[in-house]
Structure 1
């Protein structure tokens, strides 16, 4: 898979969200540029043009975007204060001009004044949370961006076509080394993980940067492997727990090596660990991770997803091997 990159990846940085919110206020008051408007004259397009656009190739994409925004608005409406703040943090890139215009449109079509007031209060509350998030985390977000750029530097070439996986295997080694150093220095905190997740979400939405998406996924995998490898459960007194030791081997290994390790390590293949034993220690490790990490944190989600990835791969290998023995 190849990805042409003219510069280093364009990372999210904090920007002002005040203008979109003011746009909401002007829409809601029925004025834009001190004159009444509708959704049609706001766009500056005649009705006929709208009808033509409705059957264009962009119509389906536009509809899906609207559905996504509506889903987010509904979630925000139903959330309590704590849940709302978490939703804002997880979807910070979604609060753009399109979001505020859609929220204003829904406010305008309310059938009762009470419903309209609820939407207005929701808009003010979301704006307040976004504003605090942007201002309070600006320095952390910028720092996280620099850390992420440093980690990706070995696999990103500004002057040449960037490929994934990298043509030079040494690039991955350097990437791992940089990540390990940054983690040891305490830079891979929630702000960093939030930055990586925001970039990954944006890359998936863009759909035209598979190389960048793969790089960011690799960063999260390397992070999870590094953190989970810090604590070992393979020894119980003088006894070596082989299933735990096997799991730790999988955790430390690159994803590309999981298949071979599972085939060589499971009894259904060439090894000594039964699928049931591996499943049991995986379940226990996930439970331990949930207990030892902050609920709802990026760290908790990334670590448990990594373990569930190993779990899913092992189940897949078992199905394949069982099918081959029948």
Structure 2
């Protein structure tokens, strides 16, 4: 069962090193203490106690004997706590009834649902079991879920490190040998080298969702810091070059032997650096020296947005970046038209 109102796995992967991801890693990296009775139960590098499996401490030493009070305290009201408990119970039931393949899929799809409240509730249900067999089922379920979560955490950490290396490679032409980041770079050729890197790495399949989420997270952090305008502009350029590369892979400028002027003009804008857009608008639109009307340009931009929505995964970073790039062109065109008409 998909847990409502929870971040998807995309938002987890999207986190930058040192922000969301490592915050969640701290949540999942449970500190488990030995108790004085029961046999040892191992899970990877962790040592748990059985049958007193659930007498361990999570986070800042929350005692499971107070778990029912804590569930209510987290929400602040009984009704909210009840709804939360019902939601977790449904998740636990779905996990218990799932076969191995379905179980793995459920855990991955609801990865952020396995927080403190989940483990507290699972412990409570284990305590109410009347038979040792039922308790064992819960222990095995806990072990399996923890193993899958650990696997996701490790793979995501590796993916973030890999995406960071790809980003460093793309930025190398503009940062190599530079003591302080500035934008635009002193060497104009550096941007062309960045573009060559992006085109090559896209062909090699390196610019996937993990990479796009990493760049987006770094850009968000740079904007929040406000003291790194050069870095923010540089990362924004990376996303623009990526969008131009992907959108330029398909051309709609020809119908048979005829060239559709509005489509050709849009594709010229897509391939051009943002710094050249103003001149291109003045040369290409009828309000300047061109032959394409503003309405025709608006129509082909909307059509390209529709095509992009159809061809990309809904809610993906790729979809968002491509759509933002097209809307950026549209917004700049509107600004130029207002300026000329005003």
Task: Output the TM-score relative to the length of structure 1.
Answer: 0.66
SS in 2 for 1:163: coil
The range that moved more, 122-131 or 303-312, is: 122-131
Q: When the two structures are aligned, how many residues end up with a matched partner?
A: 243
- Over 3 Å counting, the alpha-carbon distance change for 1:124 and 1:286 in structure 2 is closer
Q: 1:150 aligned to 2:169?
A: yes
Instruction: Determine if contact 1:203/1:212 at 8 Å carries over to the other structure.
Output: yes
CA distance in 2, matches of 1:123, 1:278: 43
Q: How does 1:221-236 map to 2 (within 5 A)?
A: 221-236=240-255
Which residue, 65, 68, 79 being the options, matches 2:5?
Answer: 79
2:121 is matched with which residue? none
2:219 is matched with which residue? 200
2:84 is matched with which residue? 118
CA distance in 2, matches of 1:227, 1:124: 31
- Over 3 Å counting, the alpha-carbon distance change for 1:125 and 1:113 in structure 2 is same
Instruction: Determine if contact 2:9/2:111 at 8 Å carries over to the other structure.
Output: no
Q: 1:307 aligned to 2:233?
A: no
- Over 3 Å counting, the alpha-carbon distance change for 1:110 and 1:232 in structure 2 is same
- Over 3 Å counting, the alpha-carbon distance change for 1:84 and 1:174 in structure 2 is closer
CA distance in 1, matches of 2:177, 2:239: 23
- Over 3 Å counting, the alpha-carbon distance change for 1:159 and 1:282 in structure 2 is closer
Which residue, 278, 282, 291 being the options, matches 1:263?
Answer: 282
Q: How does 1:15-54 map to 2 (within 5 A)?
A: none
2:133 is matched with which residue? none
2:55 is matched with which residue? none
CA distance in 1, matches of 2:13, 2:161: 16
The range that moved more, 242-251 or 203-212, is: 203-212
1:141 is matched with which residue? 160
CA distance in 1, matches of 2:269, 2:255: 19
SS in 2 for 1:162: coil
Instruction: Determine if contact 2:244/2:271 at 8 Å carries over to the other structure.
Output: yes
Cα deviations across residues 24-71 of structure 1 (Å, max 9, x unaligned)?
xxxxxxxxxxxxxxxxxxxxxxxxxxxxxxxxxxxxxxxxxxxxxxxx
2:197 is matched with which residue? 178
Structure 1 unpaired stretches of 5+: 1-75
Instruction: Determine if contact 2:201/2:207 at 8 Å carries over to the other structure.
Output: yes
- Over 3 Å counting, the alpha-carbon distance change for 1:106 and 1:234 in structure 2 is farther
- Over 3 Å counting, the alpha-carbon distance change for 1:115 and 1:147 in structure 2 is same
CA distance in 1, matches of 2:240, 2:218: 15
Instruction: Determine if contact 2:261/2:292 at 8 Å carries over to the other structure.
Output: yes
The range that moved more, 251-260 or 108-117, is: 108-117
2:293 is matched with which residue? 274
Cα deviations across residues 50-97 of structure 1 (Å, max 9, x unaligned)?
xxxxxxxxxxxxxxxxxxxxxxxxxx98526xx543444445734638
CA distance in 2, matches of 1:130, 1:269: 58
Q: How does 1:284-299 map to 2 (within 5 A)?
A: 284-299=303-318
C-alpha deviation, 1:245, in angstroms: 0.2
Give the superposed CA RMSD: 3.1
Max radius of gyration: which structure? 2
Q: Which runs of 4+ in 1 moved over 6 A?
A: none
Task: Output the TM-score relative to the length of structure 2.
Answer: 0.63
CA distance in 1, matches of 2:156, 2:298: 40
- Over 3 Å counting, the alpha-carbon distance change for 1:156 and 1:196 in structure 2 is same
Cα deviations across residues 178-212 of structure 1 (Å, max 9, x unaligned)?
11111111111111111111111221222221111
